A and B are shown apart, each in its own frame.
Chain A
């Protein structure tokens, strides 16, 4: 019955060994052994279970090992003491704690904002089932170009047919955007043509409809849930028919500038996508089945580029790789494909494909022709760098102050060491204190973050970047981990430094204040101020640049000009109506508004060398344009309706040079051919004016203006300076009479120009805030040091005063070392900030003048703040009644 078959399990015995008192171990393990053997013929696992049950039952006070003494099973008492002492210290030195906690908190809030931004961006496109295997194909038109998110339409099918590593592919052709009409409801929809593998490659949530067939038949559309609600209210949309009128709206358009509408016929709703439930880089309200294209192309409603490999701006392509296919195989396939398709194409012989993993799109590398606005990686790097600098500065404050403060805790350290605390224990204690401080800072920084988030969302760019900065539980966990990390980083040096003290010296309060120790602290402080000055100067420079841009002389008169979008209406008709409005002084028309970001190009055949073309900006304007915008004619005359076959044109002075004429007069009358072989006759030359964005280049580009009423998109209405808004509202009345369909869309030209510079202002805001924080933290650190020094020197000050020193002298004595520190910082940072700013500014178009003046202003600002900080402490100390400081001895 009791064979040697099974012995009690080993592991539980070891556990017993660990917790049981040594003198009880033998009898109890013996009893348990015997018990186990007696259990008899029941299954092994049951035996073990019973055994363990009885074993665990020995977790009773009488049987457990003692908590103290040689066996350190539990350091509860020690931890409790650490916490207690930690909290007491935080409360005892309120000013120091405030400086530390507040400094860390502001710095952490910036880091947390960036964590939030990244967390939001990282959550994009996580909902796709096969997200690990889906790639977007990018196309790079020539070596050195940024990759384009768009590719030619035929790519998607070609790659799937030719390369077996591709499981599926889908193509989104651009070009759907207009009004959907159902009964009396109208909704504007922007989106793409998509094929029936769309839902197989990408997992957009289709809440009704069949995902296998939704996009197969011609004239079927899938629309987004919110647009469906707008159109159909309570009805079930699937199976209903809508009328679609294309207006040329594009997904990226923000306010819907569009052409006149073209009827595309009737479509059937085959599915509803819930786009609000997911976060994707791909945004659309409508997907139209790609088979619809045949009909639209036959009716010439849309250009057929289904086989055009050179139309590389027309589609997005996503592929699903087969399982276990490596990225390099995909790379090879793409390389092979681009060589096959493009080596013969003259203009695009360098064209190459590359791939981008679906989850790497947001946040990702800079890509041209994106389908949605988002920040590329670069700004995150820059922002993270700034945030790290701020964070390091705050940590340095902690290091500085803790090390300085540790002198007053020497006795405590000594006593602990004498009582047997090891160096490890002490390090742990001080790390715990820094972590406590960091956690306190975490609480405060979440409050700061709340306001910071608001401010950040109010930046101009955030109108286009849909950041969702809600704090979720997981983000809070990241924050806490971050705070712990900060606590450890900030605390490691003080912990090492403090725990090194010899107990005897510590008990005697003998301060081992070697020169070197102060040296490190000074270096840290100086580096803080160096960074602060760098930031201050940079933000002043960028602000100056911003002001310079807003006051820029464009070379034309934008005052009191209201630009009105024509929405495809005949410009003559609207002009005639508008010109009768009182207060309207002049009206002209043009294709696009100069200097607001849009340009068109034209290529002229070079007369000197027939193989070459000359590229120029091309603007289509009415006869009154030159007069209306206050452009001055240098030679020739204005545009008139052409009498001959040649189209008449006016060029600017830069174009005169570009075309190889010595002076404007020579150019008049010459005839040039365009690449499309129409001829242009130059009739006038205008003085140069800016037609491109200020940041897009230094030089004024050669420009050519023709009159082509077909292509006018805007009216430039010059209104009288008095009460322009009344004129505008009158214009709106007139507009409604002529076009009831489109909204009256207008913009004051001056505002439009100012808006182009708002992004610069955003940069000013960000850098400005960073420099504010850095100087704040640096000054807090300085304040802490000043408080500490003056406190320690109270007696000295008292004695000096008794002996007759003047307040001024005492202030100077106390401040001397700090002032030296500030001066050294300025000496290092001033040339540095000059050079750094010069470097980037030199590559900046239309830059503002930058000289030492700006650096001096920045330096004075910093010195002023620094002196104020020091002064607040030293003056107080100098004014103190010596009786107060000397009486207790």
Chain B
């Protein structure tokens, strides 16, 4: 499982799922993507990604929260797993380490 690779879009969605806490379902993630990361994707793309993440074991899901707004249909609510958390940390550490190795870029960046 540790070998699983995490794509950029997947990472973003994992982070958003944590951010959204109890309200992390397909359409909400899409909305958050727009607001927090300024990215517009189709609903299908979000569902495709969370489906993949679930298969990889980074998130779990359960059904709940039907409402009039959804024509009485339930949502699939996602929560992050320990594996998910650890791969996020790993990914962050690797990037921080890389940034540390290129001081000129980070200095330049800070100035800018």
Contact = CB atoms under 8 A, between A and B. Distances in A.
Interface of A: 2, 7-8, 24, 26-35, 37, 53-54, 57-60, 62-63
Interface string B16-54: 000000000111000000000000001111011001100
30 contacts: A8-B71, A24-B47, A26-B74, A27-B25, A27-B47, A27-B63, A27-B74, A28-B47, A29-B73, A30-B66, A30-B70, A30-B71, A31-B27, A31-B43, A31-B70, A32-B43, A33-B70, A34-B70, A35-B27, A53-B42, A54-B42, A54-B43, A57-B42, A57-B45, A58-B44, A58-B47, A62-B51, A63-B44, A63-B47, A63-B48
B85 interface: no
A27 B76 contact: yes
A36 B93 CA distance: 40
Given A26-B74, A33-B71, 17 more contacts: A7-B71, A24-B47, A27-B75, A28-B26, A30-B70, A30-B71, A30-B75, A31-B26, A31-B43, A31-B75, A34-B27, A35-B43, A53-B42, A57-B44, A58-B44, A58-B47, A62-B51
A26 B63 contact: yes
B69 interface: yes
A8 B72 CA distance: 13
Contacts of B43: 28, 31-32, 35, 54, 57-58
A677 to B, nearest CB: 103
Contacts of B76: 27
B74 A60 contact: no
Given A35-B27, A35-B43, A57-B43, A30 B73 contact: yes
A522 to B, nearest CB: 64
Contact of A62 (B26, B48, B69): B48
B2 to A, nearest CB: 24
Contact of A34 (B45, B52, B69): B69
Contacts of B69: 2, 33-34, 37
A27 B73 contact: yes
Nearest to B73: A30
B13 to A, nearest CB: 15
Contacts of B66: 30
Closest 9 CB pairs of A and B: A30-B73, A57-B44, A30-B70, A27-B76, A57-B42, A33-B71, A31-B27, A31-B26, A58-B44
Nearest to B26: A31
Contacts of A32: 43
Contact of A26 (B27, B52, B73): B73
B26 A27 contact: yes
Contacts of B71: 7-8, 29-30, 33
Most chain B beta-carbon neighbours within 10 Å: one of A27, A32, A53, A62: A27
Interface of B: 25-27, 42-45, 47-48, 51-52, 63, 66, 69-71, 73-76
Contacts of A58: 43-44, 47
A8 B52 CA distance: 28
Contacts of A54: 42-44
Contacts of B73: 26-27, 29-30, 33
Contacts of B52: 62
Nearest to A28: B47
A59 B71 CA distance: 22
A819 to B, nearest CB: 73
Contacts of A27: 25-26, 47, 63, 73-76
Nearest to B45: A57
A62 B44 CA distance: 10
B61 to A, nearest CB: 9
A57 B76 CA distance: 19
Most chain A beta-carbon neighbours within 10 Å: one of B43, B48, B69, B75: B43
Contacts of B51: 24, 62-63
B65 to A, nearest CB: 9
A34 B46 CA distance: 15
Nearest to B66: A30
B10 to A, nearest CB: 14
Contacts of A8: 71
A24 B44 CA distance: 12
A59 B44 CA distance: 8
A2 B70 CA distance: 12
A30 B71 CA distance: 7
Contacts of B70: 30-31, 33-34
Contacts of A33: 69-71, 73
Nearest to A51: B43
A60 B49 CA distance: 11
A33 B72 CA distance: 10
A825 to B, nearest CB: 69
Contacts of A2: 69
B42 A31 contact: no
B34 to A, nearest CB: 12
Nearest to A36: B71
A7 to B, nearest CB: 8
A62 B51 CA distance: 8
A763 B37 CA distance: 87
Contacts of B48: 60, 62-63
Contacts of A37: 69
A28 B97 CA distance: 39
B79 to A, nearest CB: 15
B78 to A, nearest CB: 11
Contacts of A53: 42
A1 to B, nearest CB: 12
Contacts of B74: 26-27, 30
Contacts of B45: 57
Contacts of B42: 53-54, 57
B7 to A, nearest CB: 15
A8 B69 CA distance: 12
B106 to A, nearest CB: 39
A35 B75 CA distance: 13
A28 B74 CA distance: 9
Nearest to A61: B48
Nearest to A56: B44
A47 to B, nearest CB: 14
A60 B44 contact: yes
Nearest to A58: B44
Nearest to A27: B76
Nearest to A59: B44
A22 to B, nearest CB: 14
Nearest to A37: B69
Contacts of A30: 66, 70-71, 73-75
A34 B68 CA distance: 9
B66 to A, nearest CB: 8
Nearest to A7: B71
A53 to B, nearest CB: 7
Contacts of A35: 27, 43
Nearest to B43: A54
Nearest to B71: A33
A32 B43 CA distance: 8
Contacts of A60: 44, 48
A31 B63 contact: no
A2 B42 CA distance: 22
A27 B67 CA distance: 12
A59 to B, nearest CB: 8
A341 B51 CA distance: 91
Contacts of B75: 27, 30-31
